[in-house]
Amino acid sequence: MRNSALDIRGETLAAAERIRPHIRETPVERSVWLSAAGKCDVYLKLENLQTTGSFKLRGAANKLLSMREAERQRGIVTASSGNHAGAIAHLLHGFGWPGTIFVPEGASGSKVEMLRQLGADLRFHGLDCLETERFAKLNAEQSDRLFVSACDDPKIIGGQGTIGLELERQIDGIDTVFVPVGGGGLIAGIAGCLKSNDQGIEIVGCQPGASAVMYESVKAGRIVEMDSLPTLADGTAGGIEEGAIPLPICRDLVDRFVLVSEDEIKAAIRLVLLKHHTLVEGAAALSVASFLKTADRYEGKTVVLILSGAKISLETLRQVLA
């Protein structure tokens, strides 16, 4: 293993001290049903119960709190229509810092309304996330403000890695962790944190077959440009920027990937709701769907599934439950 994990561990330990007053240490819950299905011990890490409804608050808080006060007062710029935008808007509103959030022109009305309720300065540009992000970076440069990436930043990755520190305290003898993957910030942080202490822990990346950009890029050894099809796991959909930090970390530290279908994601959302009475979005359900697809590999093991967020729209939930 290369030294990626050791670097991330340091970022993660610093992040834990920095963000502790501003986040929840989310609980873990043993799943009797999933444990029986795999003849193993399965624990759910409930990041869907995190403040703002997603793990994204960890990285966003670490990044913004790491900045100099003068940088924050000039204002920050970011690009997202999902959980990262919600985390940034929550922090800007709570601390009274200025900032602008760029969202794609086709962003869902419910997400836009949520951001507006937090008083976010919203700007619309681009037809997809990559186009919006590139424009936001240009705007930040032209206005002498700092662009805050959703995943391509050591401070963001360090913040997400605090989940790993919590898991080390909460569960003994972890064998495998299933992690949803989009841009890779979450899995980079968790893998780097856990593998710095125990290289034997297996890290499994979970992606929708409809948008498996990280999987294809790791397999090819370079960033692969490909179209993403519509997916219930829209929080993980989209491309990867050239030079993105999470790609080499995923290459070095993620042991394998599991790709799941839309029907498997739908079934996992229903299962978590019916068996655990908790709501998860499509991206969060990837870990459950991926475990169920490969459960016969884990007899006698201790397995953790990261439930990364709860923001599923009423319209999508109706579709899933129909």
CATH annotation of 57-147: 3.40.50.1100
pLDDT reported for residue 81: 72
Q: Residue 286 is inside which H or E element, if any?
A: helix 282-293
Half-sphere exposure of 293 (CA within 13 A, CB side): 24
Q: What does DSSP say about strands 202-208 and 121-124: parallel, antiparallel, or unpaired?
A: unpaired
pLDDT reported for residue 1: 42
What pTM value is reported for the model? 0.94
| Pick from 90, 102, 155: nearest CA to 129 | 102
pLDDT reported for residue 3: 43
pLDDT reported for residue 230: 86
Domain layout of the chain by residue ranges: 4-54+153-321, 57-147
Crossing angle between the packed helical segments 56-66 and 154-170, to the nearest 10 degrees: 130
C-alpha span between 74 and 255 (Å, rounded): 41
State whether residue 38 is helix, strand or coil: helix
| Pick from 208, 252, 253, 246: nearest CA to 226 | 208
193 and 169 in contact (C-beta within 8 Å)?
A: no
Can you name the CATH fold of 4-54+153-321?
Answer: Rossmann fold (3.40.50)
Can you spell out the DSSP letters for 223-267?
Answer: PPP-PPPP-S-GGG-S---TT-THHHHHHHH--EEEEE-HHHHHH
pLDDT one digit per residue (tens) for the chain, 322 residues: 444 554 899 999 999 999 999 999 999 999 999 999 999 999 999 999 999 999 999 999 999 999 999 999 999 999 987 899 999 999 999 999 999 999 988 777 777 888 899 888 999 998 777 788 899 999 999 999 999 999 999 999 999 999 999 999 999 999 999 999 999 999 999 999 999 999 999 999 999 999 999 999 999 999 888 877 888 988 887 778 778 899 999 999 999 999 999 999 999 999 999 999 999 999 999 999 999 999 999 999 999 999 999 989 888 999 999 8
C-alpha span between 271 and 275 (Å, rounded): 6
Q: Which amino acid makes up residue 200?
A: G
Q: Residue 30 is inside which H or E element, if any?
A: strand 28-30
Q: Check if 4-54+153-321 and 57-147 are the same fold.
A: yes
What tens digit of pLDDT does each residue of 271-284 get?
999 999 999 999 99
Task: For the beta carbon of residue 175, count every other beta carbon within 10 angstroms.
Answer: 16
281 and 309 in contact (C-beta within 8 Å)?
A: yes
pLDDT reported for residue 2: 47
pLDDT reported for residue 85: 93
149 and 156 in contact (C-beta within 8 Å)?
A: yes
C-alpha span between 235 and 246 (Å, rounded): 16
